[in-house]
Amino acid sequence: MERGFRDRDFIRTPEGFLFCVVGSTHPPDRVMAYLKYVPSSTGGPWRRKGLRYARTMSDYTMASLRATLAILKSYPFYISFFRAFGTEMSSVPLDRIEEHYRPEERLEELASSSELDILEEKALSLASLISDMSGVSLGQMGITGSILLGIHVPGVSDIDLVVYGLEASAEVKKALGEALDDRGVGVDRLRGEMARAWCTRKTRLYPLEMRDAERILAKKWNIGIYRGTRFSIHPVRTEREAERYGERIFKPMGRATVLAKVRDAREAMFLPAIYKVEGARVLEGPSVKTIEEICSYEDIYADVAGEGEEVLARGKLEMVFDKRRSATYFRLLIGSLSGGDEFIKPLGEVRP
């Protein structure tokens, strides 16, 4: 049985547009995705001139997405209002998909090829190293970004890997987190000037102070350097793990700033990143009870706080109608199209 559309797959349309799939939950007739590449004047896809430059898969922001939506106004069939999400978003109708790029197939292709360029060889070597360290098979992994599409530039492009499923992702997280602190393994954290540049860039893209960016970088187990090349690892929900479209309905309730303690962060490694929280206090915005989760579509805020840690977050307050539980509660969404000053700041463990 052919699998569905998963987070960080890519889709090509008749115009030659290349969309990156967002999340693993989609309506029945289209795929949630954002425009990332368009044909260049010289032939072949590349980033559209005028869009904010993004070095890695993690660098795309809501500001970048808003820019792509402006471009897609000339192609209205790629923009829809989704009642379940309560927002407008870009997406690709199933009948306009000409090719579906699957990261696991590209990694399998690299593993069986005898003619790899230096970046492809390095990507395969990194995937094999992570597989050996974690016990997760290469079949549960994939490669996304420019290498998936075959438009990478050796010496310039980064390596963007994916790992499928909660259990496999947890194993990779554990193994890679340990390896990044062991200089003898071959993978390393961003350090020195490279770390400072990462933090400085994030303060320009997001409403963060330098100390916030430094605290977030220290939490990032899924980015680093391998043989001189930057890499990122992105956990992805399988279809079995993803909720079905329409199981929850979200209604906007205004904007809010919230202080809360993380109760469950198991799904915080995915996109969207979900933190189950408790003891939430609204510092600014509508006074509501039962804020059960903080959800982020901004990759920078994925997996930056664990159980027992306190977070300060600002975003879009939503009422959630959960059909699965026949329950109503509230959540805070970070990474909404109407945002711009949204964030999650880890504050550390709550003292008793």
pLDDT greater than 60 at residue 50: no
141 neighbors 107 (Cβ within 8 angstroms): yes
CA 21 → CA 11, 261, 286, 330, 349, distances in Å? 7, 31, 33, 26, 34
Distance CA 170, CA 182 (A): 19
pLDDT in tens, 286-311: 999 889 999 999 999 999 999 999 99
Q: Which CATH number fits domain 103-236: 3.30.519, 2.40.128, 3.30.460, 3.30.310?
A: 3.30.460
pLDDT greater than 60 at residue 57: no
Backbone dihedral angles phi then psi of residue 99, each to the nearest 5 degrees: -150, 140
pLDDT greater than 50 at residue 49: no
Strand partners, 226: 187, 229
Confidence grade of residue 2 (pLDDT, cut at 50, 70, 90): confident
CA 289 → CA 199, 277, 319, 330, 331, distances in Å? 35, 12, 11, 8, 10
pTM, two decimals, is: 0.92
Which pLDDT score, from 0 to 100, does residue 44 have? 60
DSSP label of 80: E
CATH of domain 248-349: 2.40.50
Task: Give the long-range contacts of residues 37-45, CB within 8 A, separation 24 or more.
Answer: 37/149, 37/151, 38/71, 39/15, 44/151, 45/16, 45/18, 45/149, 45/151
Which pLDDT score, from 0 to 100, does residue 187 have? 95
pLDDT, mean of residues 137-144: 98
3-class secondary-structure state, position 194: helix
Domain boundaries, the chain: 10-101, 103-236, 248-349
Which pLDDT score, from 0 to 100, does residue 156 have? 93
pLDDT, mean of residues 225-248: 96
Distance CA 267, CA 260 (A): 17
Q: Where does 41-165 have alpha helices with state H?
A: 62-72, 103-111, 118-134, 145-149
328 neighbors 321 (Cβ within 8 angstroms): yes
Task: At 238, list the tokens.
Answer: 């399988």
pLDDT, mean of residues 184-196: 93
pLDDT greater than 70 at residue 133: yes
Lowest mean pLDDT segment, chosen from 55-64, 79-88, 118-127: 55-64
Tell me what the pLDDT averaged over the chain comes to: 92
Task: At 228, list the tokens.
Answer: 């001189």
pLDDT greater than 50 at residue 347: yes
pLDDT, mean of residues 148-176: 96
